[in-house]
A and B are shown apart, each in its own frame.
Chain A
Amino acid sequence: MSAPRRGGVLDLALVVLVAGVCWTRTPLGGLADRVVDRYRGVERSLPSLTSYFVTGPPPEIAALAEAVIAEGPSAPPPPAPPEGAPGYPEPWRTAAAHALEDEQAVADLDALHALHGASPELTLAIYALGEEQVARAVRRARSAGEADPERYAAYRRYLAAEQARLADAAVTGTLALATVLDLGWPVDAAFAVSSDYGERVDPVTGKTRFHNGVDLAVPVGTSVHAPRDGAVSAATEDGISGRYIVLDHGHGVLTSYCHLSEHQVAAGDEVALADPIGLSGNTGRSTGPHLHYVVRVGGRTVDPASLRRPPES
């Protein structure tokens, strides 16, 4: 193959284009930014190399989630939707009111929801990115055969990196908070909380330790239910938690159920709200029958107690 003597300008233009796209859309470009900054002696805050991937909700969302669920019913409700309009639905509405810093956010979401009638997740992305960008990214995800192209996690990779980063905090943070607020309770709400979340004297070791969930006083064999739909990410056992189950509810929200006597699901199973997942017990490091219930958002635990609705009379 002899060297073609034509197309030099075209090839050079393509190389410049490809190099530019690589620089802005890949971790290699992020690395190149760091090298250039170091060479030029410039110090600036650059996004992490992992920000080129979907990395879940921002870390501060756990603290916000804890504050919102602690406020419980006393939390100020978001502004009401315009009369006659469907309004942006709950729990996304309350989540957006807390997670988005813009005071106009809920009103904008109401308007977008009324205009497009899209899913809450898609409406949120339209709010953060604009309708055209979201439509382009969804179209690309559909072309690539993504199973659910209207899910942010599915079409994020077809956005420009800087746009994706811009939308991440608003979209993933609000979705995580909405998912937490939508959690039900894993056992009948009539069962009392026997040990609260937070610092406490460990009943086994006698030392002060952080209790990362709540203990529910339930007799052995009580049916434990999924508080929301999700996937079983673990159904196993160890010496401390005994038989335990971890459910992944999406958007960085996980719930765990420890000291069970029996698993009724296996890792990889999909569960729906209120599906039975196991029977409570007294396995692992436990001083009596109880269910240790943990809620994690973005990898951090939050106090789930305020998610417990009053028992139905």
Chain B
Amino acid sequence: MVAIATRVDSLIAHSRIFWRWLGQAGVVVLGIHLGADQLDDWIAALLSRAPWAWPTADLPLVAGAWGAVAVELLLVVKIADALLLTPQEPTLSWRGWYDSRSVDAVVLPLFWGICALAGAWTVGMAVEDALAGLHAQAAFAAGVAAAALAAWRLGWSGLTRVVAGLADPRTRLRGLRWAPLLIGVGYLAARHGLPLWGWL
């Protein structure tokens, strides 16, 4: 029985190439959403201080919410691009990262790491919410375990894949156009998506 289970596990493991990217991207998308959830307020506050009168007073709020949706979907395109164009099981080395150094090589892994951690926390929250009706403390423990597993098996593997997949840049400024968006949403995900700040 154990041998069969091990064989099935191994077979599924060999098919990772087809589906693991979905989880690696998904965990980052969840982190992006936690960050973008604050972005709508920022955009609305910025727009409401514009030196012109808006046709309706709620327009900055509506524009803020749609702006956050747009940014979130735009960043999904960016992470899909960063993930799907890289080898499945790349070799990670400091030398390789150093050779590929550019704005993208610094900003993207930072953004990815923060959003993957925030996303893993969202996974933990969802597990806890789903099980809370059964046993509150067990649900909390299951949530923590799910968050840790998602961060390790999907967050970390996605991060190493993205870092190792960084192509040699034609210019060190590669990624400069995306950097403000990645830094902004990454900051918000770090500020509102990590269950750390309350302890510090």
Task: Determine the chain B residues whose CB is within 8 A of the CB of A20 once the complex forms.
Answer: 126
Minimal beta-carbon separation of B33 from chain A (angstroms): 4
Which partner residue on chain B sits nearest A157 by CB separation? Answer: B37
| B53 and A238 form a contact (CB under 8 A) | yes
Asked, given contacts A26-B29, A28-B76, whether A160 binds B200 with beta carbons under 8 Å apart, the answer is: no
Asked, given contacts A49-B69, A54-B40, whether A143 binds B196 with beta carbons under 8 Å apart, the answer is: yes
A116 interface residue, CB < 8 Å from B?
Answer: no
Question: What total of A-B pairs shows CB separation below 8 Å?
Answer: 198
> Which stretch of B58-66, B98-106, B168-176 is in the interface?
B58-66
Task: Determine the chain B residues whose CB is within 8 A of the CB of A166 once the complex forms.
Answer: none
| A25 and B23 form a contact (CB under 8 A) | no
Asked, given contacts A1-B160, A28-B73, A254-B57, whether A18 binds B19 with beta carbons under 8 Å apart, the answer is: no
A142 interface residue, CB < 8 Å from B?
Answer: yes
Bound complex: CA of A165 vs CA of B148, how far in Å?
28
Task: Determine the chain B residues whose CB is within 8 A of the CB of A158 once the complex forms.
Answer: 125
Asked, given contacts A11-B13, A14-B150, A145-B197, whether A53 binds B59 with beta carbons under 8 Å apart, the answer is: no
| B61 and A15 form a contact (CB under 8 A) | no
What per-residue 1/0 map shows which CB atoms of B125-158 lie under 8 Å from chain A?
A: 1111100100010000000001001100110000
Bound complex: CA of A17 vs CA of B122, how far in Å?
11
Interface residues of B in 146-200 (CB under 8 A from A): 146, 149-150, 153-154, 160, 164, 191-200
Query: A21, A52, A157, A301: which has the most chain B beta carbons within 10 Å?
Result: A21
A204 interface residue, CB < 8 Å from B?
Answer: no
Provide the main secondary structure of the chain B interface: helix
What per-residue 1/0 map shows which CB atoms of A1-40 lie under 8 Å from chain B?
A: 1111111111110110111111011111001000000000
Q: Bin chain B's interface residue count.
A: 35 or more
B34 interface residue, CB < 8 Å from A?
Answer: yes
| B9 and A7 form a contact (CB under 8 A) | yes
A249 interface residue, CB < 8 Å from B?
Answer: no
Minimal beta-carbon separation of A149 from chain B (angstroms): 8
| A299 and B13 form a contact (CB under 8 A) | no
| B29 and A55 form a contact (CB under 8 A) | no
Task: Determine the chain B residues whose CB is within 8 A of the CB of A157 once the complex forms.
Answer: 34, 37-38, 192
Bound complex: CA of A142 vs CA of B62, how far in Å?
28
Minimal beta-carbon separation of B195 from chain A (angstroms): 4
Bound complex: CA of A19 vs CA of B19, how far in Å?
11
Bound complex: CA of A163 vs CA of B26, how far in Å?
21
Known: A1-B160, A10-B149, A14-B146. 14 other contacts (CB 8 A): A8-B14, A11-B12, A14-B123, A15-B154, A17-B123, A50-B68, A52-B69, A53-B65, A53-B69, A136-B129, A136-B132, A163-B129, A252-B58, A299-B57
Chain B residues proximal to chain A, CB less than 8 Å: 6, 8-16, 19-20, 22-23, 26-27, 29-30, 33-34, 36-38, 40-41, 45, 48-49, 51-53, 56-59, 61-62, 65-66, 68-69, 72-73, 76, 88-92, 119, 122-123, 125-129, 132, 136, 146, 149-150, 153-154, 160, 164, 191-200
Chain A residues proximal to chain B, CB less than 8 Å: 1-12, 14-15, 17-22, 24-28, 31, 49-50, 52-56, 132-133, 136, 140, 142-146, 149, 157-158, 160, 163, 233-234, 236, 238, 240-241, 246, 252, 254, 267, 296, 298-301
